[in-house]
Structure 1
Amino acid sequence: MSVSAVDAKTLCLFDVDGTLTAARQKATPEMEEFLQRLRQKVKVGVVGGSDLEKIKEQLGENVVDKVEYVFAENGLVAYKDGKLLSVQNIQAHLGEDLLQEFINYCLNYMAQIKLPRKRGTFIEFRNGMLNVSPVGRNCSQEERMEFFELDKQKHIREKFVSALQKEFAGRGLVFSIGGQISFDVFPEGWDKRYCLGILEKDAFEKIHFFGDKTKPGGNDYEIYTDSRTIGHEVTSPEDTSGYVKSSSSTDQLKTLLLLGLLLIISQLRCLLL
């Protein structure tokens, strides 16, 4: 295989927020170009907790055609080569009684929180999860950053999740803090590792995962530490592209050195004969 050939047995799988884009922002032209160049070397996929529409807002309306795999809502909505593979449904899995009990508890809890500002859409219902935001997902970018900085000091989301873990212990729910203003709630096993089960039938030899929320409690932690992936922690979109380019250059150098070594060995054998 030549150095420039596509390695169909290797997948580079990227988180979206904080990895390919700034939180809830559009990908830069440089990032889009980077992904297309990477596709000339390996298979490429993205996995995010957001629904498909939000991923489209960030990575482009035709995102399912820009990369080989798109896993929205942690893979509960899955696309391969531009075609829908599968969709899962949280209400059918958990049941209406548990859902209403959980939603009512969250609304009551948030009613007791005093914040500089509150906006709309405090609980967003998705196919594979619930997204809970104390400030409300309708906040502006400025209000988002205001809450994010306050959350760093007051640990608002962390305390909220701790209360939920205590209240709903043993009920099969998992809580994952990600992004800047919210946290996700989903059934056990429905974190970002869910997409790995879908990928198993494609028999990749290597799956490199890139994410920024890789510490315990972050929404990249489970897939980052999973034995089926090679995890890479990044801090920003710029860090992501720089990291991959550096790794790719190193791999190519190793390949060239190996080819050179094999050539030298072959020549030595000829001399000895």
Structure 2
Amino acid sequence: MESKKMIFMFDVDTTLTPHRKRVESDMEQFLQKLRSKVKVALVGGSDLHKIAEQMGGDDVIDKFDYVFAENGLVAFKDGKQIGQENLQKHMGDDILQKVINFCLHYMSQLTLPVKRGTFVEFRSSMLNICPVGRSCSQAERDEFSAYDQEHKIREKFKAALEKEFGNAGLQFAIGGQISLDIFPVGWNKTFCLQFLEKDSFETMHFFGDKTAKGGNDHEIFEDARTIGHTVTSPADTIKQVTETLNGLGL
């Protein structure tokens, strides 16, 4: 039995996969079984390349009913692209350079356990800012994450950005394990909902780990159009999805 008017949406990192690692086989099998009952969408903050890397390959857009990369600013349905926004055209280089310069200066004042490379990643619809540098190893990523939890590096960085650019029409969110996302107001994960509303879904469940205020799952988790679920790991996602399906008699 399939509920055609219901969709289950998933954040990727820490929800479906371990931090920045490939999806495990039990989750892959679980998600494909889930597709026999409800429509399934991925809603990631990362670009499509990183989502594909974590979710098992470039055919990711064919494995799910919808794939929303960069919060849905790059959108796919049934393997075909249905949406694309452009940060540079929307904001202009003047404000973007001011934001990038501020971030680079702020990060230059930080002393962390390590610093590597790629501190600013320019994506088609957002800036991804990484104090430790995206080229860090998994061990260094884990080390920064633990340091960040203790010293609130990203939380303080986010507050500084909001103070400096509070009137610039930008939103700042803590995403993943090591970075922050910067994008125009409204370009958070709720952006993807317009595509689902167009397709007349009556019930939309969302599962994510960064659902607290300031996290990049918060707005879609809180949105009146969705039923939000906070998860802590891929195993917890499977558990909560199974409980939800049982409660629905699916």
Give the TM-score taking structure 1 as reference length: 0.90
> Once the two structures are superposed, what CA deviation does each residue of 1:252-271 show, in whole Å capped at 9, x if it has no partner?
2xx8xxxxxxxxxxxxxxxx
Alignment correspondent of 1:20: 16
Equivalent residue letter for 1:99: L
- 1:1-273 matches, within 5 Å, as 5-61=1-57, 62-252=59-249
Extract structure 1 runs of 4+ deviating beyond 4 A: none
> Once the two structures are superposed, what CA deviation does each residue of 1:16-70 show, in whole Å capped at 9, x if it has no partner?
0111011111110000000000000000000000000000001122111111000
Alpha-carbon distance in structure 2 between the residues aligned to 1:156 and 1:247: 35
Alpha-carbon distance in structure 1 between the residues aligned to 2:156 and 2:229: 28
Equivalent residue letter for 2:56: G
Alpha-carbon distance in structure 2 between the residues aligned to 1:116 and 1:144: 10
User: Secondary structure in 2 aligned to 1:36?
Assistant: helix
Q: 1:251 Cα shift?
A: 2.2
Equivalent residue letter for 1:49: G
> Once the two structures are superposed, what CA deviation does each residue of 1:204-254 show, in whole Å capped at 9, x if it has no partner?
0100000111111111010000001011111110000111112212322xx
Alignment correspondent of 1:258: none
User: Secondary structure in 1 aligned to 2:68?
Assistant: strand
Alpha-carbon distance in structure 2 between the residues aligned to 1:91 and 1:176: 19
Alpha-carbon distance in structure 1 between the residues aligned to 2:226 and 2:56: 26
Equivalent residue letter for 1:240: T
Alpha-carbon distance in structure 2 between the residues aligned to 1:96 and 1:249: 50
User: Secondary structure in 2 aligned to 1:210?
Assistant: strand
> Once the two structures are superposed, what CA deviation does each residue of 1:168-219 show, in whole Å capped at 9, x if it has no partner?
1110010000211101000000000000012111010100000111111111
Alpha-carbon distance in structure 1 between the residues aligned to 2:244 and 2:227: 13
Alpha-carbon distance in structure 1 between the residues aligned to 2:186 and 2:136: 30
Alpha-carbon distance in structure 2 between the residues aligned to 1:20 and 1:47: 11
Alpha-carbon distance in structure 2 between the residues aligned to 1:174 and 1:69: 24
> Once the two structures are superposed, what CA deviation does each residue of 1:122-160 show, in whole Å capped at 9, x if it has no partner?
000001100000000000000001000000111111111
Alpha-carbon distance in structure 1 between the residues aligned to 2:112 and 2:228: 36
Give the TM-score taking structure 2 as reference length: 0.98
User: Secondary structure in 1 aligned to 2:189?
Assistant: coil
Q: 1:80 Cα shift?
A: 0.2
Unaligned runs of 5+ in 2: none
Q: Identity of counterpart residues, as a percentage?
A: 59
Equivalent residue letter for 2:155: E
